[in-house]
Amino acid sequence: MILVTGAGGSLGRLTMDALLARGVPAGDIIAGVRSPERAKDLAALGVEVREADYDRPDTLPGALDGARRVLLISGNEVGRREPQHRAVIDAALAAGVEHLAYTSILHADTTPLVLAPEHLATERHLRASGLPFTLLRNGWYTENYEQAIRRAVTEGVIASATDGGRVASAPRADYAEAAATVLTTERPAEMYELSGDTAWSMADLATVVGEVAGVPVTHRSLPPAEYEAALTGSGVPVETARMLVGMDVDIAAGWLADTPGDLSRLLGRPTTPLRETVTALLAG
């Protein structure tokens, strides 16, 4: 049995789709979700839906019962993820799980990315647990820019504090397919540094959006303080704005531009180009 935690989220659902596409029987897949009553669409796939709430460790033994392999998808609550992940790892060890894959972040042990510390703490706990593991060090999701892409069509501008920095992103479906590959490989590597094949700038994104939408779109480069003020002025909460600006500063320094090629090797094909994802987002 393969358990996918966080199965109600975008990456989790795409991973289950990828497992099914690889020929894994639906009856061999467990969807771990926070609220099973809201996961009827998952049950309709034929997979077994179980409650797995990172904040309620008492739900985890039941979710892990009989699971041989586990994909631990990182939580989305920044600042709370380390204890959440630790609870899953400890429960997996107690349940006798044979292999656990964890969705970390690109170069977690060397990057200054503002999101990295919780991932690195999780990696260290996983190593210390003694569980056989694989670190899926995911880079940036192209869909992280979905709102900016949609706004650009009507506003004609994409603003950022990236200062010409580049992002080697890939869509979630690529990362999900890679996770499914690892989950169905007998002896995967302990670590993969995953990112898109091509790094692009925000100016490149503006050009692609404009060409796909058939409207003029430009990139407005702002100093970090001005960009933070613009975000908060548009209603973004202060803490969220600071995190977004912090990520842009890290992008400006090149911390999301690496293209090691692990993702395309796992996929057995090139990663999905930026233009293809932008086209799909605008058509949706």
pLDDT level of residue 280 (50, 70, 90 thresholds):
very high
> Which of the 8 DSSP states describes residue 51?
E
CATH fit for domain 2-138, picks 3.40.50.720, 3.30.1330.40, 3.40.50.1450, 3.40.50.1110: 3.40.50.720
Residue-range domain boundaries for the chain: 2-138, 140-170+196-257+272-284
pLDDT digits (tens, 9 = 90+) for 241-267: 998 999 999 999 999 999 999 999 999
pTM over 0.85: yes
pLDDT level of residue 76 (50, 70, 90 thresholds):
confident
- Higher pLDDT: 77 or 204? It is 204
3-state secondary structure of 207: helix
Tell whether the model's pLDDT for residue 114 goes beyond 90: no
**E strands in the chain:** 2-4, 29-33, 48-51, 69-72, 99-105, 133-138, 157-160, 166-167, 191-194, 200-201, 218-221
3-state secondary structure of 117: helix
β-strands 218-221, 166-167 pairing: unpaired
Evaluate whether 247 touches 186 at the Cβ level (below 8 Å): no
**E strands in 106-173:** 133-138, 157-160, 166-167
CATH code given to domain 140-170+196-257+272-284: 3.90.25.10
pLDDT digits (tens, 9 = 90+) for 139-178: 999 999 999 999 999 999 999 999 999 999 999 999 999 9
pLDDT level of residue 67 (50, 70, 90 thresholds):
very high
In this structure, the chain runs to a length of 284
